[in-house]
Amino acid sequence: MAQEIRKLAYVIDRSYVTYMTYVEKDSTEVAANTIICLIHQTNYLLDQLLRQLEKQFLKEGGFTERLYSARQAKKREE
């Protein structure tokens, strides 16, 4: 069952409707396992996002640094 739910992550244009039968129309055990799989998938995606943001921060700096650079560039134009 978990394999079926994991495969749904690759369905294009998925939404709650994609998982609805597992959550609403199956046993409570299947519903709980479906939600656990979705939590794991979400955690994976958040971890990927954090890694990407860390790389971007190291390469481009933080928000304050970018604001300062933009302000300095604007001053040079004036």
Q: What is the pLDDT of residues 1-42, one digit of tens each?
A: 778 888 888 888 888 888 888 899 888 999 999 999 999 999
Distance of CA 78 to the CA centre of its chain: 41
Can you give the residue ranges of every domain in the chain? 2-77
Among 76, 14, 77, 4, which residue's Cα sits nearest to residue 45?
14
Among 25, 17, 19, 16, which residue's Cα sits nearest to residue 4?
19
E strands, 3-72, are none
Please tell me whether the overall predicted TM-score, pTM, comes out greater than 0.75 for this model. Answer: no
Compute the distance between CA of residue 6 and CA of residue 75 in angstroms, rounded to an integer: 52
